Amino acid sequence: MHDPQPLGAGALLKAMPGLHAIWRCHIGLEVESPIASAAWTFLRPYAERHDHAIFSAPEYVPGFLAARASVMRPTIDPLGHKNRELSPHKLVGVLCNSALVAGAHPVLTPPFAHPALRLRSDGTFAPADQPSDIGLLFRPVVTQVSRWDRLKGFRPLLDGFLALKRRAGDGAHPPRHRRRLEIVRLVLAGPDPAAIQDDPEAREVLAELTAAYRALEPGAQADVAVLTLPMASVKENALMVNALQRCSTVVVQNSLREGFGLTATEAMWKAVPVLGTQAWGLRQQIRDGVDGRLVTHPDDPEELAQVLDEMLADPKQRFVWGQNGQRRVHDAFLVFGQVSEWLRVLGECDGPARAAASDAVRPARGPR
């Protein structure tokens, strides 16, 4: 069972003879709070009826499950559409097929049935190559891909980006970097909110972002792309996220809180430097100054602008962060490493039952 929503179903299944129930909790809080305690009080009767529980960090394990809990870091599949290598032609094909780039040449594959949509100044959404191409293949690009959730810090990131843009004109930068700040663009992307039924906040957050976008000057609107990615095809959605991350100069995960940010892992795997925050999960993933940078106050636009400025100004360091991040994901956050951990957990859950069963079965003669 994954996450709290289906916990009740896991508790029911566990009541059936011969079935084991394991709960994997993908969220977590490293500090105690009255609200978290109230949530645990509600979940406890269901969680306790599982044989084993798995959390993303030791700090997330509640006391009442400590004796039968494991810690597994979430991992990514480097062969799946979200993270697989994309050749330059494939990358451009995905961008053209999803309307993220206005193609100037024919591409091999037909357009996706549902394109990525971009917010326009009148508050409506249209295919992302309208009213004009974002420039993903040409400009420096700062990207955040997340659910539309207040805790993901989209709004302060927008303000931080606008503060960064203002720096372009302050005369304090060498010409190359000033040019970079002039042409850099921000991409804020998330799923089509209509497609996510268990995320009621998404529409609200996107509406707030829409209002903030509509209040911008036309020049600033051109420099910011608020995108909704269709969820009708899981494969196409994954390819869009993959392509967006790959053509980013910096991937940001400006979370105010984060149990574990897969988007950071995904970017690191692609050797794209990441800008994260001190949120507990992100601190487990990104080593500040090694794989990217961490801001202390994700709600402070000036700090975001300063750190983004530093990251954009230093291409060599970005390369090093990207390489280090990729190595870190290779060593710690790929799905293959999790096979042995799963076997151990399954063995622990199944061990007593299997021992009893094998006592009752006569040994087989030779291979079957």
CB-nearer residue toward ligand UDP: 80 or 289: 80
For ligand UDP, give the closer residue by CB, 161 or 260.
260
- Per the listing, tokens 């509640």 go with 62
User: Min. distance of Cβ 148 from ligand UDP in angstroms?
Assistant: 9
Alpha-carbon distance 283 to 82, whole Å? 23
User: Which one of the spans 31-39, 125-133, 212-220, 256-264 is the region binding ligand UDP (CB under 6 A)?
Assistant: 256-264
**Which CB atom, from 11 or from 294, has the smaller least distance to ligand UDP?**
294
* 171: DSSP letter: S
By CB under 6 A, tell whether 254 contacts ligand UDP: no
The one segment of 58-66, 213-221, 235-243, 304-312 that binds ligand UDP by CB under 6 A: 235-243
CA gap 68, 347 in Å, rounded: 13
190: contact with ligand UDP by CB under 6 A: yes
Q: Which of 28, 156, 261, 276 lies at the binding interface for ligand UDP (CB under 6 A)?
A: 261
Contacts of 131 (CB under 8 A, 6+ apart): 120
Q: Which is nearer to ligand UDP, 82 or 114 (CB)?
A: 82
Q: Which residue in the set 128, 163, 202, 241 belongs to the binding site for ligand UDP (CB under 6 A)? A: 241
Choice between 14 and 237, CB closer to ligand UDP: 237
DSSP state at residue 152 = G
Among residues 51, 129, 133, 266, the one that binds ligand UDP under rule CB under 6 A: 266
Give the separation between CA 5 and CA 187, rounded to whole angstroms.
31
Using an 8 Å Cβ cutoff, are 230 and 193 in contact?
A: no
| Residue 262 binds to ligand UDP (criterion: CB under 6 A) | yes
Bond prior to 131 in cis (omega within 30° of 0): yes
Q: Which residues contact 231 (CB under 8 A, 6 or more apart)?
A: 191, 192, 195, 196, 237
Return d(Cα 106, Cα 233) in angstroms, integer.
23
Determine, following the binding rule CB under 6 A, whether residue 145 of this chain makes contact with ligand UDP: yes
Nearer to ligand UDP, 157 or 163 (CB): 157
Could you tell me the smallest distance in angstroms from the CB atom of residue 280 to ligand UDP?
Answer: 13
Tell me: does residue 147 bind ligand UDP (CB under 6 A): yes
The number of residues that bind ligand UDP (CB under 6 A) is 14
Shortest CB 315 distance to ligand UDP, Å: 25
Neighbours of 177 (CB within 10 A): 17
Render the burial of 293-317: b for 16+ CB within 10 Å, e for the rest: bbbeebbebebbbbbbbebbeeeee
192 burial class (0-12, 13-18, 19+ CB within 10 angstroms)? buried
Q: How many CB atoms lie within 10 A of CB 264?
A: 29
Span 78-117, contacts to ligand UDP by CB under 6 A = 82
Closest-CA residue to 242 (of 265, 225, 276): 265
Q: Give the pair of three-digit tokens for residue 349.
A: 């859950």
Does position 229 interact with ligand UDP (CB under 6 A)? The reply is yes
Q: Which is nearer to ligand UDP, 173 or 330 (CB)?
A: 330
Of the candidate spans 126-134, 233-241, 304-312, 357-365, the one that interacts with ligand UDP by CB under 6 A turns out to be 233-241
CA geometry: angle at 115 spanning 139 and 230, to 5°?
105
Judged by CB under 6 A, the stretch of 132-140, 178-186, 255-263, 317-325 that binds ligand UDP is 255-263
Considering only residues 10, 191, 276, 292, which one is a binding residue for ligand UDP as defined by CB under 6 A? 191
Q: Which is nearer to ligand UDP, 181 or 206 (CB)?
A: 206
Q: Does 263 bind ligand UDP (CB under 6 A)?
A: yes
Q: Which residues bind ligand UDP (CB under 6 A)?
A: 82, 145, 147, 190-191, 229, 237-238, 241, 260-263, 266
